[in-house]
Every structure is written in structure tokens, then in C-alpha cells.
Amino acid sequence: MDSDILSSAMKAASSAVDRVLDKIIQNGSGAETQLVEAMRYAVLSPGKRLRPFLTICAAEVFDVARPVAVRTGAALECIHSYSLVHDDLPAMDDDDLRRGRPTLHKAYDEATAILAGDALLTLAFEIVSAPETSPKAEVRAELCRTLAKAAGYQGMVGGQMIDLSAAREPLAESAIHRMQQMKTGALICASVEAGAVLGEASTKARQSLNYYARDLGVAFQIADDLLDVEGTEEATGKAVRKDADHGKSTFVELLGVERARQQATMLADQAIEHLADFGDKATLLRAVAHFAVNRSH
């Protein structure tokens, strides 16, 4: 697929997701206005909206109505942006720059950042459990469960805990794989799975998409590590070379730049192979896999 076509599809999806988030998260008139502003600052900041895009692309495989997929994708973006806000806190990774702007606790304060993160996480579940997301309760409940499992202590939060402890004690290769699968991979898998849940996909189709998402997640993470080593602050919108500074265990540190790049490309190809049954309907999912390893931001 032409990279321009992917690029415009991603832009369109991103705008649609932002419109939904803009509509849902409205400034209140009370003393909590600052919280609402902070939530908007975090979730509506410039970004790829990769996770919602994955939901939208996976839902397209099953001809799910687009507004439903966009709304569900918005919930995934809430979880992703909450995780960035909390990870950036002084007690965690202590980052000042995110998506080209001051991190939330720099723009506001720590208390506001903690609460805005909490509120975005909670909002994700409010969004997917609302009848507007799906008239079928089975779908809504399953979306809640999919998101909660991926985001919780056996997924994303657990991965962040391991990552923090790894700054003190370097991890072995298998432990890095497990940490990354939990920290980044689980929510990427959930983003794809959410599309399958909306589409009430067969077990076989879900399995194929899950294999795709797992490979994509690792490829994406390796590409992220490479950007940290080789990217510029201007292009990535965040501080670079910080993994090494923080003594973090990454794939690039483990494999070296060249092997890491080969591994990412190999995983993207492998991800695409799992989409064989979906024909043309999976064109965008295939393009995303190429994008994940060839991006500059």
C-alpha cells in the first residue's frame, strides 16, 4: 500500500478520535475545571493515535460501523495517554517533554497529573460500557474485560513496575520480552482485539489477529527503542537517549542496532502473514505493520 494512503487514513482516524474525545471531555464549570483541562491536554495532544487506529482497522475487517470503532478507539487512547502521564511523573521516569510539549505535571502540577491520569483510565471504562458504544451488552462487557486485563497488574501496569525495577537490576533477554509484552504489547493486542470484539469475530479470526498484534507489538517496541537511540528530539517530540541514561533494558541494548532493525522487519513480515485469511479487508492492518518499523516518530 502506498504510504500516502496509509498516512491519510491515519490522519482521518486520528481526527475522528479527537472529535469524539473533544465531545466527551467537556470543561465543567466547577472547581474541577483544571482537571478537565489537564485531561484534554494529555489526551488531545499531538500523537499518532496508533491504538485507536488499530481498533478501527481491525473493526473494518468485520465491517463494523465506523463511529462505533472510533468511539472504542477513543477509550484505548484514554488508557494510553493516562499511562504516559503517570509514567512521566517525577517518581517514575521523571520526563519533562512529551509529544513536543511539557509533560502534564510540568504544565500543571503533580497532583493534577496523577488525578488526570486516574480520570482518563476511568473514562475509558465509562466510554466502552456506555450503550452508545454498542447496543449489545455482551460486546460492552467484553470490551471492559479486554481493556482491564491488558491495562492492569498482569499487563501494562505490571510491565511498568518491572521496567522501573530493571533500572536497578538489568533484565535477561526473556525478562525483557515479558516486560515489553506486558508494558506495551498488551495494550496493542487489546486495541486489535477490541476491533474483533466489536465485530463479534470467530475464535479463529481472533486468534489470527492476536498473533498479528503480538508480533506487531514487539516490532513497534523495537522501533521505539531504535528511535530512542537514533532519533532526534524534534522528530520524536520527547527526550531521546534516555533509556541508556536511565540504565533501562531494551531490545537495542540487547541485540545491537543492526540486529534489532532486522528483527523488527522480520516481525512485521511475520505479523502480516497472520492476516492471510482476511484478504483485502486487512490492507490497512498490513500497512500499519510496515509503518510500525519504518516510522521516524
132 Cβ partners below 8 Å, 6+ apart? Answer: 71
In the complex, minimum distance from the CB of residue 87 to a copy of itself, in angstroms, rounded to a whole number: 10
* Coil, strand or helix at 97: strand
Minimum Å gap between C-beta 120 and a copy of itself is: 8
Q: Give the side-chain half-sphere CA count within 13 A for 174.
A: 0
Distance CA 292, CA 297 (A): 10
Distance from C-alpha of 33 to C-alpha of 109, rounded to nearest angstrom: 14
For the bound state, the minimum distance from the C-beta of residue 70 to a copy of itself, rounded and expressed in Å, comes to 19
H or E element that contains 280: none
C-alpha 152: how far from chain center: 14
- All three cell numbers of 39, joined, read 485531561
CB nearer a copy of itself, residue 186 or residue 264: 186
Nearer to a copy of itself, 106 or 261 (CB): 106
Closer Cβ to a copy of itself, 115 or 205, answer by number: 115
Nearest-angstrom CA–CA distance, 67 and 41 = 23
Q: Please, which residue, 5 or 167, has the CB nearer to a copy of itself?
A: 167
Residue 13 or 123: the one with the smaller Cβ distance to a copy of itself is 123
Q: Smallest gap, in angstroms, from Cβ of residue 10 to a copy of itself?
A: 28
Query: Which residues lie near a copy of itself (CB under 8 A)?
Result: 25, 28, 30-32, 34-36, 39, 82, 86, 89, 91-92, 109-112, 114-115, 117-119, 121-123, 125-126, 128-130, 136-138, 140-142, 144-145, 147-149, 151-154, 157-162, 164-166, 169, 171, 175, 178-179, 182
**Lookup: cell for 257:** 542496532
Q: How far is the CB of 189 from a copy of itself (least distance, A)?
A: 15
